[in-house]
Amino acid sequence: MCNIPIEDKRNYIDWDSYMNSKGEEIKVKNNEPGIVWKDAVTDTWFYLSNEKYNEYINRIVENFGGGLDSHGKVSFEYKKICDFYDIKNFSKLKSLPWRYAEKEKKPAVVDVCRLFVLFAWLYGEVDKDSRINAYKSFFEGSFDNYPKAYNAVKALTSENSIKINQDKEIILIKGGAYKIKKYYLENSKIHDIRGASIIIKHLTEDLIPQEVFESYIEEAVIYSGGGNIFAVVDSDLKKVIEVIGKCEKIIDDYAITLENVFCYYKSSIYNLIENYRDEMKKFDIEIEQKKKLKIYNNIYTRSSLLNNSIKIGNEQIKIECREELTGDAESGACKRCNTKEALYKVDTPDGQECICGSCLHKLKIGRKCKSSFNKDLEDYINKANLQGISFSMPKEIEDIKDSKGYISVIYGDGNNFGKIVNSLENIYEMMYFSRMVYMTSFEATCKAILDSNYSLQNEKKNLKPFELIALGGDDIFLICPAENSMCFSKHLITEFNKKFREVIATDKENNKITLSIGIAVGKYNNPVRNLFEMAESKLLSAKRLERELASKGQNNGSVDIVVVKGTSYVDFISEQSMFPMDNDSFGEFLKLVNKMKSSEIKKSRIQNLVRAKQQMEEESEFQLYFLYNDCKQKDKNKLEKWMKENYFSKGIYRFEAGMMVKDISEIEGKSVRCNVWKDILDIWDFCKGGVSI
């Protein structure tokens, strides 16, 4: 077995101490006999003593007693174990490895026992109702009744020495929603956006997996979340087509306009285990093909749930209207989204309106249900022992606005995830990875919210209202008050990078996971959809910069912003801005602006410089103006001097005669000169809390 060979000189982290660490130093391995393994995703080497390993396994088995619940789901109570050990992070415990795996990278116990039961079911060694026995045998280590499933698990977890000795045809099912952002933003009402977010979560975490549980078994679902599902089922094609049809109908019923596709792929247990990457690649190509073939009716959106009552969480929601309309030209366009035919007359918080079916569902669900993220955040705050911090859900976008009436729409996306997904070698690495990505992004977001001056705003410790619309894997989409959104973004990038660095080690710096963010700041009465589109285009330019920096090994996350004053979008491209910026430069820049705000330098002075710069065609003309003007100032007001004393760039800019200068390293002597005053003015009102960075 895997007892440590004496000559082994690796640095092992003691898994037990890592699990229970509350910030103190994590121990390395001691000399007790134990097992060692390499984390499936992070490549970290761990050690766990045999004694401790058995203790953890016993806890799992003890808590296993419940059998199957009323939905046929196995009660696998990690939560109880976590409470016992007082562990805040579930995903950590879920990384407890299966010691009998012969690979360096061992699967998590929680994944491999499910796979074992799935294989047993596929081979006909166990039926749906007696799965609990297969689980028990798995933990007892008595595999006699399940020789084929055991062989499959051994083949999956050994280095090529063991092969599948009896193959079996299977079918893979993959599918879900896409163009999700478009669905969220069909209209700009916060309740409806929240409703859309709740609908998608309900579909992919409850309804779609339930459909697969009921048609097959719980273990058939390998992954479900963020709008997508992946399942492994038996080779009955007729049934698969039926189930796929049902899944598509569920989405069409609930989220009428949400584009979705479900596909199947004929495979075998051998190919799933031995050719995992190739099989997934081929499958993905087929999915892309099918997406192109689907046609959506996005004009007439009749609700098939009308007058039905649906249950989401603890809420019972009736989908109803005052009057059903014929949908002829007279009823006109939907009052809320403006693009689809109005088919229902309903009472809304904005008065009686004629709206479409898609908006009807979002409206009813968004008004009744609490954003599920807010519930998760509440849990996080309680677990982190931050009792006393409270936050309230915004009722309208207006509730999010800061004292000057501004909100920020923030759209973030991780860099380099694709590379890691493509490098996953087998099905259990994928199970482990998808679980870990969600937990890590979630924790980074919570921490950034709490750290960035959202907390401790006043003595009552009320968090500023914000709306987290989507958190799917590495995607983060939220609306918050603008006044401290710059610092929040800086915290979020730093936290995200740090947390992923803890969990995903890569051999190359430029492959490391970082976050890029696009921020659109505007008045609260700007349509959210417009702000989102701007944030999205800023995210793209931030990601472009990050790719450039990655090629030099200087990637640390990036950010780009647009500030819309009033309600019209002014073209900022004509002014050479310092944005997009890497995260380190961004942090320096926020510090600079905050220092300036607390100095003698007045905002009006910066405004004058911006105006002067706009009027002068030549840069040299502006520089002369700047230096001449600066000479006339009293000593404490001299900007050239102040900037040189206060701007210590760790980043890529330096200050020179009234401009920020960035050298373009590829071209000798070539540099870009940026209008720093415009950038300072842009974020002047939105960088509260910057000192604490």
Residues lying near Zn ion in the complex (CB under 5 A): 334, 336-337, 340, 356, 359, 413, 474-475
Q: How far is the CB of 319 from Zn ion (least distance, A)?
A: 14
- Please identify, using beta-carbon distances, which residue of 437 and 593 lies nearer to Zn ion: 437
> In the beta sheet, which residues pair with residue 625?
none
Rounded distance between C-alpha atoms, residue 413 and residue 516, angstroms: 6
Q: How far is the CB of 358 from Zn ion (least distance, A)?
A: 5
Q: How far is the CB of 581 from Zn ion (least distance, A)?
A: 20
- Buried b vs exposed e over 582-619: b needs ≥16 C-beta within 10 Å? bbbbbbbbbbbbbbbbeeebeeeebeebbebbeeeeee
Q: Give the 3-state secondary structure of residue 520.
A: strand
4: how many CB neighbours lie within 10 A of its CB?
A: 16
- Please identify, using beta-carbon distances, which residue of 118 and 354 lies nearer to Zn ion: 354
- Please identify, using beta-carbon distances, which residue of 300 and 648 lies nearer to Zn ion: 300
Read off the amino acid at residue 254: Y
Q: How far is the CB of 412 from Zn ion (least distance, A)?
A: 9
Extended beta strands in 474-547, E state: 475-481, 514-523
- Please identify, using beta-carbon distances, which residue of 226 and 651 lies nearer to Zn ion: 226
Q: Which long-range contacts (CB under 8 A, 24 or more apart) does 564-572 make?
A: 564/520, 564/521, 564/522, 564/523, 564/526, 564/531, 564/534, 566/523, 567/522, 567/523, 567/525, 567/526, 569/530, 569/534, 572/678
Rounded distance between C-alpha atoms, residue 608 and residue 614, angstroms: 10
- Please identify, using beta-carbon distances, which residue of 359 and 448 lies nearer to Zn ion: 359
**Contact between 572 and 674 (Cβ < 8 Å):** no
Rounded distance between C-alpha atoms, residue 61 and residue 285, angstroms: 41
Q: How far is the CB of 419 from Zn ion (least distance, A)?
A: 12
Q: How far is the CB of 39 from Zn ion (least distance, A)?
A: 22
* 3-state SS string for 288-336: HHHHHHCCCCCCCCCCCCCCCEEEECCEEEECCCCEECCCCHHHCECCC
Q: How far is the CB of 540 from Zn ion (least distance, A)?
A: 12
Q: Which long-range contacts (CB under 8 A, 24 or more apart) does 456-462 make?
A: 460/390, 461/388, 461/389, 461/390, 462/389, 462/390, 462/391, 462/392
101 torsion bin: left (phi>0), alpha (psi -120 to 50), beta (else): beta
How many residues belong to the chain? Answer: 693
- Please identify, using beta-carbon distances, which residue of 157 and 514 lies nearer to Zn ion: 514
102: how many CB neighbours lie within 10 A of its CB?
A: 14
Q: Pull the structure tokens for residue 607.
A: 């405004």
- Please identify, using beta-carbon distances, which residue of 228 and 267 lies nearer to Zn ion: 228
- Please identify, using beta-carbon distances, which residue of 437 and 480 lies nearer to Zn ion: 437
**Contact between 662 and 652 (Cβ < 8 Å):** yes
- Please identify, using beta-carbon distances, which residue of 495 and 588 lies nearer to Zn ion: 495
Q: Give the 3-state secondary structure of residue 595.
A: helix
Q: How far is the CB of 41 from Zn ion (least distance, A)?
A: 17
Q: How far is the CB of 368 from Zn ion (least distance, A)?
A: 18
- Please identify, using beta-carbon distances, which residue of 355 and 652 lies nearer to Zn ion: 355
Q: How far is the CB of 580 from Zn ion (least distance, A)?
A: 17
